[in-house]
C-alpha cells in the first residue's frame, strides 16, 4: 500500500464496494522460491468478510490447499490511469499514475466440491446482471456431460478476510483546482471516465487509514 496517508483515508465500506464491483483480482500466496499468483474472478460478500472463487485443480495453489487453510492475499485494482503533469495547470509537476487498489488478506481454504454449482451460478449471475437487458446466462444451459467434465477440473475456494487495506490515489495531495483540472483532462481520454469521476467526487474519508 502507498505510504502517503492522503491516499489511505477512504472509508472501508467504499473499498469493499469497489472491490466487490470489480470482481477480478490477483490471488497471491507464499511459494518456495517466488510467490504463487493466480488471476481470478471472485464474489466478495457485501460485508467484506469473505470472497468466493475457484481455480483449476492443476494450479499449484490447489495442491497447497490440500493441507488446509493457508495465508493469502487477494489484490484488486479497480481503476487506474496515467496522469500527465500538463493537466494540473501548475508548474514543476511530474508524471504519475493514479489508481484505486484494495488488498484483502486472510486464510484461504478449499470448499467442498458439492458447493461448486451454487458458487458458479452466483458468480455468473452477478456479472450477467450487469449486462441487462440481455437474458441472464445460466449454468443449466450447458450440456450435462460437458458441465460435469468441466466441474471435475476446478476447485471452489474461499478467502476468509481478516484485513482490508486500500489506496485511493486520486491526486488528493494537489490543490482542488489542480486535481479537478487533471480529472477533466483524464475524462477526455478513452476508457478513463471511472477514475476521472472518482477524482472529481472524492469518496468519503475516515479519520485514519483503511
CATH of domain 5-82+96-174: 2.30.110.10
Whole-model pTM?
0.91
Q: Is the peptide bond before 30 cis (omega within 30 degrees of 0)?
A: no
> Which run of H or of E encompasses 108?
strand 96-110
Average pLDDT over residues 60-79: 89
- Residue 200: name the closest of 173, 169, 179, 174 by CA: 179
| Domain residue spans of the chain | 5-82+96-174
Q: Of 50-59, 139-148, 199-208, which range is least confident?
A: 199-208
First-to-last C-alpha distance (Å) of the chain: 10
Helix extents (H) in 153-210: 176-187, 193-200
Amino acid at each position: 500500500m502507498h505510504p502517503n496517508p492522503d491516499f489511505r483515508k477512504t472509508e472501508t465500506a467504499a473499498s469493499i464496494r469497489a472491490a466487490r464491483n470489480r470482481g477480478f483480482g490477483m490471488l497471491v500466496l507464499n511459494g518456495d522460491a517466488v510467490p504463487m499468483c493466480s488471476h481470478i474472478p471472485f464474489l466478495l460478500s457485501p460485508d467484506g468478510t469473505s470472497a468466493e472463487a475457484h481455480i483449476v485443480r492443476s494450479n499449484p495453489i490447489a495442491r497447497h490447499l490440500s493441507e488446509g487453510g493457508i495465508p493469502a492475499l487477494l489484490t484488486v485494482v479497480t481503476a487506474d490511469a496515467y496522469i500527465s503533469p500538463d493537466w494540473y495547470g501548475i508548474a514543476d509537476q511530474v508524471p504519475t499514475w493514479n489508481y484505486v487498489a484494495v488488498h484483502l488478506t486472510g486464510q484461504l481454504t478449499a470448499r467442498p466440491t458439492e458447493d461448486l454449482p451454487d458458487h458458479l451460478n452466483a458468480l455468473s449471475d452477478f456479472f450477467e446482471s450487469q449486462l441487462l437487458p440481455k437474458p441472464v446466462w445460466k449454468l443449466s444451459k450447458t450440456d450435462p456431460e460437458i458441465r460435469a467434465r468441466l466441474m471435475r477440473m476446478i476447485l471452489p475456494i474461499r478467502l476468509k478476510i481478516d484485513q482490508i487495506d486500500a489506496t485511493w490515489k486520486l491526486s488528493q495531495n494537489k490543490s482542488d483546482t489542480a486535481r479537478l483540472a487533471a480529472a477533466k483532462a483524464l475524462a477526455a481520454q478513452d476508457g478513463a471516465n471511472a477514475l476521472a469521476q472518482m477524482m472529481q467526487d472524492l469518496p468519503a474519508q475516515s479519520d485514519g487509514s483503511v
